[in-house]
Amino acid sequence: PALLIFPILAPVIVFLAVAVYFKEQKRADEIVQQRREEIEAELPRFVNTIEQELRASRDVLNILKSYQRNAGHAMKRELEITIADMASGNEENALTRMESRIGSTMLSDVVRGLISVKRGDNGIMYFQMLSMTFKQLELQKLKLEAMKQPGKMRKYSFMLLGCFLLMYLGVLGYVVLEAFGELF
């Protein structure tokens, strides 16, 4: 009805509708990416726990249940879905569906190891190696993050240096002007 009264606004409304659509689509991708990063950040601890639990038991379902109590928010949610899926159907398929839901290469390695444990392999060595790999990846991420910080710190250091110089030059200028007043 408003388009009949203001036909010139039709292109603006269409443009805004398209812009909102793409913005919301990008927002959904950002939420999925954030959840994936949160889960990947927790994977080194998860792998260490699996490695320790495999020394006592080979029951993957109980290992996942015990880790779920201490997991972060995103990982807890995914484990909840996976545990329910494992209890109601094929455990290997449930693990594979968890892998496809998250879409992480790191999680793919973990799921591959869990499936091999379900098939009867001794996964302790596999998870030890995976744990070392994940620790190295975590250290690389931390180093990259630390390398980004000097750029941010440099900006603030220059501002602080400017404030000190301004303070010293202000005092020096005041003293020099007073000295000139006494000379002349």
Residue spans per domain, the chain: 2-147
For every residue of 89-125, DSSP letters joined together read: S-HHHHHHHHHHHHT-HHHHHHHHHHHHHHTT---HH
In the predicted model, what is the mean pLDDT of residues 81-96?
Answer: 90
- pLDDT tens, 171-180? 999 999 888 8
* Predicted confidence (pLDDT) at residue 89 exceeds the cutoff of 90: no
- Provide the pLDDT for residue 1: 59
User: Residue 55 gets which letter from DSSP?
Assistant: T
- Provide the pLDDT for residue 2: 64
Q: 172 to each of 40, 165, 178, 183, how far by Cα in Å?
A: 56, 10, 10, 16
- pLDDT tens, 36-65? 999 999 999 999 999 999 988 888 999 999
Which residue, among 123, 135, 136, has the nearest Cα to 50 in the 3D structure?
123
- Residues 41, 33: Cα–Cα separation, whole Å: 12
* Predicted confidence (pLDDT) at residue 3 exceeds the cutoff of 70: no
Tokens of 72: 């972060």
* Predicted confidence (pLDDT) at residue 76 exceeds the cutoff of 90: yes
* Predicted confidence (pLDDT) at residue 135 exceeds the cutoff of 70: yes
- Provide the pLDDT for residue 171: 93
Contacts of 96 (CB under 8 A, 6+ apart): 111, 115
